[in-house]
Amino acid sequence: MAPGTGAARPRRGRGRQHGARRISAPHLSYRHNDKPTPSKRKQARTASHTGALSDPRKHGLVENGGQLPGGDRLRNLTPMGVKAAARELGRQVGEMGDPARVAGRAGAGGGAQADIVITAPGDGARRLGVMENMRVRDVSFSNGTVELAGSLSVPAGADLVVAGVVLVGGSGPTDRDNGTYFPPFQQHLVKAGFAVLAYDKRGVGQSTGDWRTATMDDLAADAVTALSFLRAQPEVHPQTAGLFGHSEGGWVALRASAAQDDLPWVVTNSCPGTSPAEQERYALANHLRGLHGDGHPEIHSTLTLYDQLTEAGRRNADFTTAQQLVDDAGAPLGLAYYWGDVDERLWEFLKRKQDHDPIPDLLQLRCPHLALFGGADETVPVADSIRIFAESACASARPPRATLTVEVFPGGDHRLQVQGSTDPTPGYLDKVSRWLAHHATPAHGQLGAAR
C-alpha cells in the first residue's frame, strides 16, 4: 500500500505525527499471505471478512484500551496487530515501540473514523488510518430485500459540492475494497476532489443476499441503487456522479449505464468486450502456457475439457454432470485455475453468466465511455476487447454523446499495476482523475460551491 500524502492532523497523545497510511493492507496481507495456494489466499481475502475492514477488532488486531477525555475510544494493538503494522511500515517487530493504539470516534452519519498511532524508536509516532484530506463513513442502502453496505469517502472540505464516483468490484466475493485494489485508488480520487462510494457485493462483508444467485441485471440494479444513494448525499452534485467498474464490474457498470438517460460518464477498467466464456478461456490458456510451457499437449486437452464444460453449461447440465466431465478427464492440474472453487451454487451462477454479451449495452450507451486496459493483462483479451468497443462506438445506433476513449498502459496487468508489484502503472491514476474531472462537470451549477 502506497503511503498517503499530506501531513497528519494534530491529535491527542504523545509523539510526533508523520504521514498517514491506511490500515486495510496489513490486516489483509498479514492474515492471508501464508495460505498455501493463490485460490486459497483469494478466498481468504474476500470471502471471510464480514465487516472486518471497517473494524480491526474483527481481525484480532486490536483490543479495548479505554477512552480519552474527549470521547475517543482507544484500542491497543494486539501482538498480531503489532506484527501487521510492522509489515506495513517495513520494520522488524522488535523495532516497534510502545504504545501502539487506535483512536476512534463516531463520524458523520454514524460512520467510524479510526487512527492508529505507532511509536517506533527514533521515529516518533507513525499514523495509520483516516487521511487528513479524507473523511470516511460506513453507509448502507437497499435494493429491494437486499441491504448493501459500503464506505463513502469524501474530501475533508466536504462543505463543498464535489463530483461522485461509484466503484463496482470484480468477479467473485468482492468486498468494498476489492481485495486491496480499491483503497489507494479511492485515496487518489478523493485527493483529486471526488466523493467515492464503494460497497460490498451482495452476500459479501456486511451486505445481505447472495451474489451466486444473482443475474447480471440484479448486480446492475445494485450498482444503480448505489449511484442513487451517492447522488442523494449533500456533498455530491447529483449530475456529476457515474460508475467505475473493474473487470466483471465493467459488465455490470455497462448494463447499469445503458439503462440511464442522465448518466454523465462511465469508466470500465480491464473489462472484456467478449463474453465471460471467451474471456475465461483466454485467461485459462495463458495460465496453462505459464504452467506447462508453449506447445505442451496438456494445454490442448485442458482447453478441450473447458470447452466441454462450457457446452454443458449451455445445455443446463447440473453440477454432478459437469463434475463427472472433470473426473473422467483425470481432473488436470491446470484446470484448477478455473474449476478449483466451483461448487453447485457457483456452477449455476457460471451457467447464467457465461454467454453474457456486452455489445447490446455498448450500443445503448448514452454517455462518454473511458475504457482502460493494461497491455500485459493475461486475464482479458485486450486487443479483441478494444476492437469490439470500437466497432460498437462506430455503429449508427450509438448516440452521438456516447464517445469512446481507450487507454492502454503498456506493462500494466489486470489491475493496471506494474507486473510483479502493487504499484499503479505510471500515468494511470492521473489519467483517470483528469478524464473524470473533464466529464464530470454538471450541465448547470458550479462544482466546489458551498452547500
The 10 Å CB-count burial string (b at 16+, else e) for 284-296 is bbebbeeebeeee
Give yes or no for a contact between 448 and 161, defined as CB atoms under 8 angstroms apart: yes
Measure the CA angle with vertex 335, ends 334 and 338; round to 5°.
120
Give yes or no for a contact between 203 and 212, defined as CB atoms under 8 angstroms apart: yes
All three cell numbers of 425: 502503472
User: Which amino acid, one-letter code, is at 86?
Assistant: A
Question: Rounded CA gap, 295 and 288, in Å?
Answer: 10
Question: Rounded CA gap, 126 and 71, in Å?
Answer: 22
CATH match of 135-275+356-439 with 3.40.50.1820: yes
Give, for all 451 residues of the chain, the pLDDT tens digit. Answer: 333 333 333 333 333 233 333 333 333 333 444 455 555 554 554 443 333 434 455 556 666 555 444 444 445 666 666 666 655 555 565 655 544 444 333 333 333 333 333 333 333 322 333 445 788 999 999 999 999 999 999 998 646 678 999 999 999 999 999 988 999 999 999 999 999 999 999 999 999 999 999 999 999 999 999 999 999 999 899 999 999 999 999 999 999 999 999 999 999 999 999 999 999 999 999 999 999 999 999 999 999 999 999 999 999 999 999 999 999 999 999 999 999 999 999 999 999 999 999 999 999 999 999 999 999 999 999 999 999 999 999 999 899 999 999 999 999 999 999 988 889 999 999 999 999 999 987 543 445 444 4
Question: Rounded CA gap, 303 and 292, in Å?
Answer: 13
DSSP 226-264: HHHHHHTSTTB-GGG-EEEEETHHHHHHHHHHHT-SS--
Give yes or no for a contact between 150 and 176, defined as CB atoms under 8 angstroms apart: yes
Q: Of 140, 89, 138, whose CA–CA distance to 112 is shortest?
A: 138
Question: Rounded CA gap, 135 and 184, in Å?
Answer: 14
Domain boundaries, the chain: 20-128, 135-275+356-439, 276-353
Strand-strand pairing, 242-246 and 163-168: parallel
